Structure 1
Amino acid sequence: METTIAFILIFGSLVFFHELGHFIFAKRAGIMVREFAIGFGPKIVAITKGETLYTLRLLPLGGYVRMAGEDMDSVELQPGFRVGLVLNAKEEVVKIVLNQNKQQQDMLFLETERADLEKGLWIEGYDEEERLVRYNVSRKAVVTENGKDTLIAPHDRQFGSKSIGNRFITIFAGPLFNFILAFFIFLMIGLLQGVPTYEPIISDVQEGGPALEAGMQDGDLVTKIDGQSINSWQDLASKVQESAGEALSFEYVRDGEVINSTITPKTVEQEGKTFGQIGVLYESPVEKNPLKAVAFGAEQTVTWIVKIFELLGMLVTGQFTIDALSGPVGIYKATEQVAQYGVFNLMNWAAILSINLGIMNLLPLPALDGGRLLFFLIEAVRGKPVDRQKEGMVHFVGIMLLMVLMVVVTWNDIQRFFF
C-alpha cells in the first residue's frame, strides 16, 4: 500500500509539473486552454474554473493540456442549421444552442446562412419571419450541443495563431518544468539532509583488508597517495581501483597527526573487470549550507541529464537492448525497492525520474514534445508550416508505435518481475 501511494504521488507530481509547464506558457501566450488533465480515460473529478476544465482521470499513465485549435474543436455552422441564439444587452450573441427545437424564454431562432466564429465573429441567417439578419458574436460566446457547453475560440486565442516562438516555448515548457522540478527536489535534499562534502574520510575499515593491516582506522582523512594530493573520495577511489597489486604510499591525518603507511590494494575481479580494493567503506560527511544546497541542486540536475543521455547513446549503439527498458510496472517495482531506504532516497529517485521524463519527451519522435518541436523548426526553415493533415498523420503513426512499444516494455516487466 505504501509503495502504491509513493508511486502515485511521484508519478502524479512528475506529470502535474510537466503539464503545468505547458499550461502556464500557453496562458502566457494568450492561448485558450480547454482542459488540464492528469491521467487518461474516464473522469474521476472534474472542476471548471474560468475557461478551463480541470480533470483527474482514471488511468495514471500521463496527462495532457488541451489547447484551443489543436484538436479540430472549432464549431462550424453549415447553411441550413437551425440554431437558438441568446443575446446580451449589446445585441451580441452570447449563446448558440444547437439541436434545439423547443422555444425558450429570451431565445430567438435562426436558420443559418453563413457564420464566422473565429475571425469575424458574426452569424447570419433567416429569422422566423424569413428576414436575413446578422448578429455579432461575443468573444466569450458559448456553443451548447446536447447539453454540453463549449466556449468559442477566436482565432487569436488558438494555438496555431501564435508565433513560432510562443508555440515552441509552450511545448518546450513541459520538459523544462521536469528539469526545474528535479532541481528543486535535489535542492530540498541538500537543505534537509545536507550537501555531501566528498572529503576522503574513511568511514569504516573492514576486517582482514589491506587498510586494517596497515594500521588505518575509522575517521582517518587521506591527504596524499604516492605524493599526489587527494581532494575527494573520488580521487582516492580512482587511484586505488587502478592500482591493483601495486604498493601505494598513503598519507593521512588522525587527530591532527600526519601518518604515513604503505598499502597494497588487493586484486578483485567482477563482471570480467579487474580493480583494486583496500577494504574500507565510505559515507560522505554532509554540510548544511543554503548556498551549497543550490549549487548541489544544479550540479546533480546537470549530472543526471548527462548520464541519461549517455544511456540513450548506449541504447542507440546497441550496448543496451529493448529488454533493458522499463515501463510503469518496472518503475513501480523500482520505487518499491528505493522506498525501503528512506525518504531521501525516494526523493532522489523522483528527481531522476523527472529528468528522465523531460529528456524522453524532448526526443524528436512523432507524438512526443520533441517531435512537435521538430515540426516548428522545419516551419521556421521553410517559412511556412507543414500541412496539418500530414503532420497529424505522422503524430498518429507515432502514437501507435509508442503504444506498441509500451505494450512490449510492460510485457517484459511482467515477465521479469512475476515469472
Structure 2
Amino acid sequence: MHMIQVVFLTVLVFFVIVSIHEWGHYYFAKRAGILVREFAIGFGPKLFSVKRGETRYTLRLIPAGGFVRMAGEDPEIIDVQPGQTIAVRVKDNRITRLYLDRLDERSGVIRGEVVAIDLERKLAVTLDVEGENESFAVHPAALMITKGKETQIAPLDRQFGSKTVAQRALAIFAGPMMNFILAFVLFAAYIQMAGIPVGTPDKLLVGEITEGMPASKVDLKEGDVIDAINGVKIGTDYDKMIAIIGQSPNVPVRMDIIRDGKAQQVIITPEPNEEGVGKVGIRSTLPEMPKRPATFKETFTGAGKLMKTMTISIFEGFKKLIFGEFKLDDLGGPVRTAEVTSQIAQQGITQLTSWTALLSLYLGIFNLLPIPALDGSRLIFLGIEAIRRRPIDPNRESMVHFVGFALIMLLMLVVTYNDILRLVRGE
C-alpha cells in the first residue's frame, strides 16, 4: 500500500471515530432544542472554520479528540451591563443585532445607553436615546457583534441547563453511544470481509521472529509447526508454550518442530526479561484456514462476541493502570496510536476495519469513566442533580471539569513526548 494511502487511511480513522462521537452529542442536543455554538474536531488553534446556520464547524490543530460547545454549559463570555453604550439594528420591530464596539462606524443603527437588558427571559432592551427611554423586543436569534466576532444570543430555553435531566443526560451519553454503535457495525463489517473459518486449527506456527533474540540465532523459520517443547505437546495452546519457555530463563529447552512434513529439533535458551521471565522472541500464529461467507446471524452474534471480548480486554488494561501494573512506555498517546494505525493500514482494509472498531469501542468506554471533563463525570453530576432535585453550582462543576481537562492534557503531553522520544530512539 502506498504511503499516501496509509497516511490518508490513518487520518480517516481518527476523523471518523471522533466525528461520530461528537455528532452524537450534536444531534441529541439539537433535538432537545439546545443552541450548539461549535462542533469541533481537535483542540487548540483553528485550522479551518465554517459557519452553517447556528453552528460553527471547526478543525483544530491538536488531533486529541473534539468537542461540541452548547450554549449555557459554561458562563457566556459576552455580557452587557446597564450604563454601557451600545448600538442596535432593528428589523420588523425587533432587535436583530447588538453592536458593542466601533459604534461610530455603524450605519442604520440606534445608539444609546443601556437602561435595562434581558437577553435570556424577557428578550427586551431599554435604551436611553438622547435622553428618552426606548424599549425594544429582541429576536431570539439576535447576534452580538464585538471585536469583529458574531455571537448568537442564547435565550434560556435554548441553553443546556434549561433542559430536563433526561434530555441533558441523553445529549451527553449520545457521544459514547455512537462509538458503541460504530464499533458494532465495524466488527460486523470485519466479519463479513474476513469470513468464517472452515474447520478448527490443530497446530501452532512460528510467526514473526525478533531479531537479536534467541529464536533468531537457531534454525527456526517462519511457518515452522511448533509440535512440542521439552516433550510436552503444544497443539494450539499458545499459553502452554509461553509458560514452559517463561519458566526456563537461561535454561536450554528442546523445541520439536515440523518443517515441510519432516520432524526436527532445535535447542534454544530463553533470555530473562526485566521480570526474570524467559523469552525467545517468537510471535506464533495459527495456520490460515479455508473460509466461507458469514451468514447474517453469524455476523450479528460474532460482532456481539467481539464487542464483549474487547470490552473485557479494555477493562483489564484499566485495571493494570489503576493498580500501577504498568510503565510509562506501556502508555501511548496520539503519536503511538497513529503509528500503530498506520502499521495496521498496511495490512489491508480488513484488519484496519477491525482496529477502527476497537478504537471506537475504547473511545466510548474511556469517555464514560468518572474522570472530570469526560462524559462519565458529567453524567455523575446529572445523576446527583436528579437525586438532590436541584442543580450543582455551575461554577463549581465547571472548575472540576477544567481541572480534569488540564490534567488529561498534561498526561497527553507526557505520553506524546515519550512517544516521540521512543520514535527518535528507533524503538
Tell me the TM-score normalised to structure 2 length: 0.78
Provide the C-alpha distance between the structure 2 equivalents of 1:204 and 1:75, rounded to a whole number of angstroms.
66
Q: Match of 1:102, SS?
A: helix
CA distance 1:366–1:32, shift in 2 (3 Å): same
- State the partner residue of 1:339: 345
Provide the C-alpha distance between the structure 1 equivalents of 2:54 and 2:180, rounded to a whole number of angstroms.
28
CA distance 1:281–1:185, shift in 2 (3 Å): closer
Provide the C-alpha distance between the structure 2 equivalents of 1:81 and 1:158, rounded to a whole number of angstroms.
25
Q: Match of 2:103, SS?
A: coil
Trace 1:49-198 onto structure 2 (pairs within 5 A).
49-73=52-76, 75-89=78-92, 91-102=93-104, 104-128=106-130, 130-194=131-195, 196-197=196-197
Any unmatched runs of 5+ in structure 2?
Answer: 206-222, 229-234, 245-265
Match of 1:30 among 25, 28, 33: 33
- State the partner residue of 1:315: 321
Which residue identity is paired with 2:25? H
CA distance 1:285–1:308, shift in 2 (3 Å): farther
| Residues 201 and 236, structure 2, Cα contact 8 Å, conserved in 1 | no
Q: Match of 1:391, SS?
A: helix
CA distance 1:332–1:397, shift in 2 (3 Å): same
- State the partner residue of 1:292: 298
Q: String of CA shifts for 1:176-196, please: whole Å, max 9, x gaps.
A: 1111111111122222332x3
Figure out how many residues of one structure are paired with residues of the other and give that number. Answer: 373
Match of 1:364 among 362, 365, 370: 370
| Residues 204 and 225, structure 2, Cα contact 8 Å, conserved in 1 | no
CA distance 1:371–1:280, shift in 2 (3 Å): closer
Provide the C-alpha distance between the structure 1 equivalents of 2:403 and 2:287, rounded to a whole number of angstroms.
50
Provide the C-alpha distance between the structure 1 equivalents of 2:339 and 2:286, rounded to a whole number of angstroms.
28
- State the partner residue of 2:199: 199
Provide the C-alpha distance between the structure 1 equivalents of 2:65 and 2:137, rounded to a whole number of angstroms.
40
Provide the C-alpha distance between the structure 1 equivalents of 2:395 and 2:57, rounded to a whole number of angstroms.
28
CA distance 1:240–1:268, shift in 2 (3 Å): farther
- State the partner residue of 2:8: 5
Provide the C-alpha distance between the structure 2 equivalents of 1:341 and 1:239, rounded to a whole number of angstroms.
23
- State the partner residue of 1:255: none
| Residues 327 and 413, structure 1, Cα contact 8 Å, conserved in 2 | yes
Provide the C-alpha distance between the structure 2 equivalents of 1:62 and 1:240, rounded to a whole number of angstroms.
37
Provide the C-alpha distance between the structure 2 equivalents of 1:202 and 1:239, rounded to a whole number of angstroms.
12
- State the partner residue of 1:395: 401
Provide the C-alpha distance between the structure 2 equivalents of 1:124 and 1:280, rounded to a whole number of angstroms.
77
Provide the C-alpha distance between the structure 1 equivalents of 2:107 and 2:194, rounded to a whole number of angstroms.
66
- Runs ≥4 in structure 1, deviation > 4 angstroms? 201-211, 238-242, 266-274
Q: String of CA shifts for 1:1-20, please: whole Å, max 9, x gaps.
A: 44432321111111111111
- State the partner residue of 1:382: 388
How big is the shift at 1:367? 1.2
Q: Match of 1:64, SS?
A: strand
| Residues 31 and 67, structure 1, Cα contact 8 Å, conserved in 2 | yes
Identity of aligned residues (%): 41
Provide the C-alpha distance between the structure 1 equivalents of 2:267 and 2:170, rounded to a whole number of angstroms.
53
| Residues 98 and 145, structure 2, Cα contact 8 Å, conserved in 1 | yes
Provide the C-alpha distance between the structure 1 equivalents of 2:11 and 2:331, rounded to a whole number of angstroms.
20
Provide the C-alpha distance between the structure 2 equivalents of 1:282 and 1:39, rounded to a whole number of angstroms.
41
CA distance 1:285–1:378, shift in 2 (3 Å): farther
CA distance 1:163–1:74, shift in 2 (3 Å): farther
Provide the C-alpha distance between the structure 1 equivalents of 2:106 and 2:334, rounded to a whole number of angstroms.
51
Trace 1:203-242 onto structure 2 (pairs within 5 A).
210=227, 237=236, 241=240
- State the partner residue of 1:325: 331
How big is the shift at 1:71? 2.7
- State the partner residue of 2:357: 351
Provide the C-alpha distance between the structure 1 equivalents of 2:299 and 2:58, rounded to a whole number of angstroms.
35
Provide the C-alpha distance between the structure 2 equivalents of 1:402 and 1:240, rounded to a whole number of angstroms.
36
Which residue identity is paired with 1:376? L
Provide the C-alpha distance between the structure 2 equivalents of 1:412 and 1:190, rounded to a whole number of angstroms.
35
Provide the C-alpha distance between the structure 1 equivalents of 2:28 and 2:104, rounded to a whole number of angstroms.
42
- State the partner residue of 1:413: 419
